[in-house]
Structure 1
Amino acid sequence: MARPREFDRDAALERAMKLFWAKGFASTSTDDLIKEMGIGRQSLYNAFGDKRQLYLEVLHSYQQISLGAHLERLNEPASPLAGILKLLGGLAVKDDKVRALGCFGVSSIGEFGASDPELKCLSEAGGAVMRSRIAARIREGQEMDEIDPSFAADEAAAFVLMVMMGLQVKARAGASVEDMQQLATFTVKGLKA
């Protein structure tokens, strides 16, 4: 008879995500994980598979949460420009410790590049959703005479997405909220009609 799991799986995943987010995949050992998650080695393997499977699970969870938050900020204001500003400005997290972590997804890209097909697929899927929705907001802004109509919406969306990634790297490098807000404002000013 199998023993029932004696830990809160969601809480353990949350702790694993924070550890991977702070240290990256390569710098996080299995010993680090079992200590941080408060579980035994066998429980880790039974519940989550190996370190890589755990990393994929927590990264996917992180991306779902962050994608939802990004889309909410982007879609909330009636003004497309205000939505784009809110999207970019929302990356400037007030909590210094959280802001200094940057984005777990962007850090994953920095660590693995395109070398891991599953991670690449995960990143591309989230990026495609964001790019599509940003492009739609840009087209809305063009129809409302808020955004320069000479921009190709898909290219402008790719630019905004690149700025998002750059802001997250800048956050990881220690950027202040004010610096990040200034860059967000500068980007949006460049889109104006």
Structure 2
Amino acid sequence: MARPKEFDRDAALAGALQVFWTKGYEGASTDDLLKGMNIGRQSMYDTFGDKQALFLESLRCYHKLDNKNFFDHLGDNPSPLKVLHGFLAIFTRRSDEENARGCMGINATTAFGRNNPEVTQLARNTATSVEDMLAQLVGAAKDAGEIAARVDNAVAASFLYATLQGLTVRAQAGASHDELARVADFTIEALKAMR
């Protein structure tokens, strides 16, 4: 008769996520993962499968949390343009240590390129989800008269998402909060200038 699991699966997954986010897929050893998850080797393999399966589950979990944080950030601000600015300026409110870790999704995409179809699909799903929300905000900003009606919602959303990804990499590379704030400000001013 198999012994019941004596650990919290969600807590173990959260531990793996932190290890992968900090060290990357290649840099995370099995021992690092076991320590971060606070479980034994056999429990890890029995519950999560191999390292790649654990990484993919951690990445899916990260994307869910990241999307939730994004949607929570939207709040009830009456100005959609200010919400967009706040979204882009998020890196100016994070510590240098947080910024240095970057985005686990971007880190995974750049590490694997298109060599891992599951990582590629997760990146596409996240981009679609975030760009859809950004397009809604662009539409709301148009309705509020904050940007011109002629702005294409989908194109503006792709531009904003690409800018966010660039800001993520710049923050990870050590750009100052002032540098990041200037890019966020310029991006919003560019949208406003299209009136």
Note whether the superposition's TM-score is higher than 0.5. Answer: yes
Matched letter for residue 160 of structure 2: V
Between the aligned partners of 1:100 and 1:53, the Cα distance in structure 2 is: 25
In structure 2, stretches of 5+ residues that fail to align are none
Counterpart residue number, 1:108:
108
Q: Does the Cα contact within 8 Å between 1:74 and 1:134 map onto a contact in 2?
A: no
Between the aligned partners of 2:94 and 2:123, the Cα distance in structure 1 is: 25
Between the aligned partners of 1:47 and 1:124, the Cα distance in structure 2 is: 27
Identity %: 38
In the comparison of the two structures, how many residue pairs are matched?
193
Counterpart residue number, 1:136:
136
List, as ranges, runs of 4+ consecutive aligned residues in structure 1 with deviation greater than 6 Å.
none
Q: Does the Cα contact within 8 Å between 2:80 and 2:138 map onto a contact in 1?
A: yes
> Is 1:82–2:82 an aligned residue pair?
yes
Deviation at 1:75, TM superposition (A): 5.3
Correspondence list, 1:25-40, <5 A: 25-40=25-40
Correspondence list, 1:117-132, <5 A: 117-132=117-132
Counterpart residue number, 2:184:
184
Between the aligned partners of 1:87 and 1:138, the Cα distance in structure 2 is: 13
Counterpart residue number, 1:152:
152
Matched letter for residue 44 of structure 1: M
Deviation at 1:119, TM superposition (A): 1.2
Matched letter for residue 9 of structure 1: R
Deviation at 1:39, TM superposition (A): 1.8
Between the aligned partners of 1:75 and 1:7, the Cα distance in structure 2 is: 35
Between the aligned partners of 1:27 and 1:159, the Cα distance in structure 2 is: 32
Q: Does the Cα contact within 8 Å between 1:73 and 1:90 map onto a contact in 2?
A: no
Deviation at 1:183, TM superposition (A): 1.3
Between the aligned partners of 1:90 and 1:6, the Cα distance in structure 2 is: 38
Q: Does the Cα contact within 8 Å between 2:18 and 2:36 map onto a contact in 1?
A: no
